[in-house]
Structure 1
Amino acid sequence: MVWTSATMAGRIVTRFVSRTFLEFASGAKGIRGTKRHYWTTLRRTVPALTSGRAAFLLGIPTLTCLGYEAYHRVQSSAVVYALERVELLEQADYLYSCAETEKLYQLLLQYKDSDDAEFLWRLARASRDLSLLPNIDGERKKQLTFEAFEYAKKSLEKDEMCFAAHKWYAICLSDVGDYEGVKVKIGNSYIIREHLEKAIKLNPKDATSLHILGYWCFAFAELPWYQRKVAAVIFASPPTSTYEEALDFFLKAEEVDPNFYSKNLLMLGKTYLGMKDKEKALLWLTKAKEYPAHTLEDKEVHKEAVDLLKKLG
């Protein structure tokens, strides 16, 4: 059989096309097989993913979304609380500055079970201030004094890094000592000084803490000899101090916040009197006398300063 060029070319093309289609067909089976495998796997996977541990994994995007919403709500609540907290503290400080003791006490009493040291030490201060009002009877005064100490103690437990908690713990502990006898009061003196020093370390710019520690030093510096002997009998080494040490704290308080407190001016005058420095005593006692009397304590300071100036001539 004689093959023409055209015939040969046609057969080659036919074989090529046939082989190509066969290869494609074979490949197509593979593709269809892959599809079947995909759908079969999917049919097997969907029930598996929607049950048991896999369901939890599928739930992650939803839970994450819900978690974000919850987190956002918590964050929003935290912001609202923070704003309310700031406003309440500002309101409390405003009432304190206006000497609205009863209103301040009632405001803060709502937060007596708070875990916030800032509310608690302010409540301790308000309770103490209320106990000092002239219209408070003896039993109520004692109750408020011990309440103040408990609030101060709780404040310190909640935040040991709060300088005001240390300060008011020291003050309230001293007040409680008035009801517990001389031995307890002197014993507490060590603790009082320790907490005042901590308050000053945490906030060296707090004039009140400096003043109170100065007062502590002054009280022991002017302790009469017979009381020192009694203290020495009770304690092997009773607390001691000097007028010079007291003066240092009073002056530091004045340096930090000039004219912040009428009693600091008075105590500077009295300390210089104890040191026999009449000229400087006159200077500070005159300042105490001329201090604007806004509070009951200011009026008492004014009267004492006037009396001391009269004695000095």
Structure 2
Amino acid sequence: MFRRAAASFGRVATGLAGVQVAAAAVALTDKELSKKPEWYQIAVRSIEDALKRTSKYGYIESTTSLEEAHEALNKVSDIHNTEIQWRIARILFEKAELSKNHDEVLHLLHEAKDHAKKALAVEPAKGSAGAHKWYALILTRLAKLEKKPEYETEAYKHLEKAIAVDPKDPYALHLLGVQQFNNKDYSAAVATLQKAEAIKAGFSASNLYYLGAAQKAAGKKNEAIVALKAAVQANPKNRFDGKARSQAKNALAGLKVKPEEYELEDL
């Protein structure tokens, strides 16, 4: 069970019901949990489920899933624990990404930033990839909305830290590669985006698009065409992938590649 695997949460403290439930979510066996009152079991399992959902590398685009996870983790939001705080930050960031209200977006992002900073303030010695990764995403978004380029620089450093802690996260590598592309460091972008593909080939149409775009900018036309074709043919898993497929088509058109050379019949 997940609560065994996440033993690092530990028994944070006792005395408050929320803290006790959070500790139970990672410290009790199924047999021990079954002896607790029903309300307690439900609370523990809701937190456990929220922790599992927000552990995934990729994006969560279900508003229902986000709301359920937010409701569960809000009950233990006063716990100064890195793993809990960065997950709350992640949820708030993803809710901001799905919102179309500018004021709400900024409010959610700043709230997310606060939780991410709390996560980093109590980061364990071994590091927390999730805390650095989602803090970087929050800063990157705020940099664009509030015109603060210094946030981009800070975000880059946190992505590097996230990858140092968890080098097997293809999404973190993708995000770093995009930053390098935007900084016009095309050789570095190609290398980073290729690392992401080596970990999980075809995991993201967006990664394939940026790989192709970076290769094109680096003068590697033939390699770029291969990557851009793959981006168009990839199954979009989120809104970023959908946008990337359109961008890849435009890039291929700019390289004089005809649609019949890459379009699949079922697309």
Calculate the TM-score normalised by the size of structure 2.
Answer: 0.71
The secondary structure found in structure 1 opposite 2:146 is coil
Higher deviation after alignment, 143-152 or 109-118: 109-118
Structure 1 counterpart of 2:142, from 176, 186, 204 = 176
SS at match of 1:276: coil
Structure-2 separation of matches of 1:113 and 1:102:
23
Equivalents in 2 of 1:189, 1:304: separation in Å? 23
Change (3 A) 1:117 1:216: same
Alignment of 1:275-294 (within 5 A): 275-294=218-237
CA distance in 1 between counterparts of 2:131 and 2:179 reads: 18
User: Which one has the largest radius of gyration?
Assistant: 1
The answer to whether residue 69 in structure 2 is matched with residue 107 in structure 1 is: yes
Bigger proportion of residues as helix: 1
| Cα RMSD (Å) | 2.6
1:118 matched to 2:62: no
Comparing 110-119 with 257-266, greater Cα deviation is found at 110-119
Contact kept in structure 1, 2:140 and 2:155, CA below 8 Å: yes
2:201 matched residue in structure 1: 258
Residue 81 (structure 1) aligned with residue 25 (structure 2): yes
Which protein has greater RCO, CA pairs closer than 8 Å, 6+ apart? 2
Distance 1:79 1:122 in 2: 16
Q: More displaced, 78-87 or 114-123? A: 78-87
Q: Deviations over 1:141-198 (max 9, x none)?
A: 11112122112111111225111101111121122222433xx31x233322221221
Report the equivalent of 2:188. Answer: 245
Identical amino acids, percent of aligned pairs = 28
- Pair 1:305 & 2:248 matched: yes
- One-letter code aligned to 1:126: I
Runs of 4+ displaced beyond 6 Å: 76-79
Distance 2:67 2:82 in 1: 16
* CA offsets 1:225-258 (integer angstroms, 9 cap, x no match): xxxxxxxxxxxxxxxxx21111111111111222
Q: Are residues 126 and 80 of structure 1, via their aligned partners in 2, closer, same or farther at CA, if it must alter by over 3 Å?
A: closer
Amino acid at match of 2:52: E
- 1:38 maps to what in 2? none
How far apart, CA to CA, are the structure 2 residues paired with 1:79 and 1:140? 32
Partner of 2:113: 149
1:102 positional shift: 4.4
Where does structure 1 lack aligned partners over 5 or more consecutive residues? 1-75, 222-241
Whole-angstrom CA distance in 2 between matches of 1:164 and 1:117: 9
Q: Assess, with a 3 A threshold, how the Cα gap between structure 1 residues 188 and 256 changes in structure 2: closer, same or farther.
A: same
Aligned AA for 1:114? I
CA distance in 2, matches of 1:113, 1:77: 13
Distance 1:250 1:155, change over 3 A: same
Q: Which residue number in structure 2 is paired with residue 216 of structure 1?
A: 179
CA, structure 1 residues 250+91, in 2 after alignment: closer, same or farther (shift >3 Å)?
closer
Q: Unaligned 5+ residue runs, structure 2?
A: 1-19, 29-43, 257-267
Cα distance in 2 for partners of 1:288, 1:149 equals 32
C-alpha separation between the residues in 2 aligned to 1:92 and 1:189?
24
Matched with 1:136 is 100
Does the 8 A contact of 1:289 with 1:303 survive in 2?
yes
Q: Give the structure-1-normalised TM-score.
A: 0.62
- CA shift in 2, pair 1:105/1:148, >3 Å: farther
CA–CA distance in 2 between the matches of 1:190 and 1:294? 28
1:113-162, Cα deviation, whole Å (9 max, x unpaired):
332322322222222222222x5211111111212211211111122511
Greater CA drift, 101-110 or 145-154:
101-110
Q: Is the 8 A contact 1:108 1:119 kept in 2?
A: no
Structure 1 residue 219 displacement after superposition: 0.8
Q: Counterpart of 1:99 in structure 2: which amino acid?
A: E
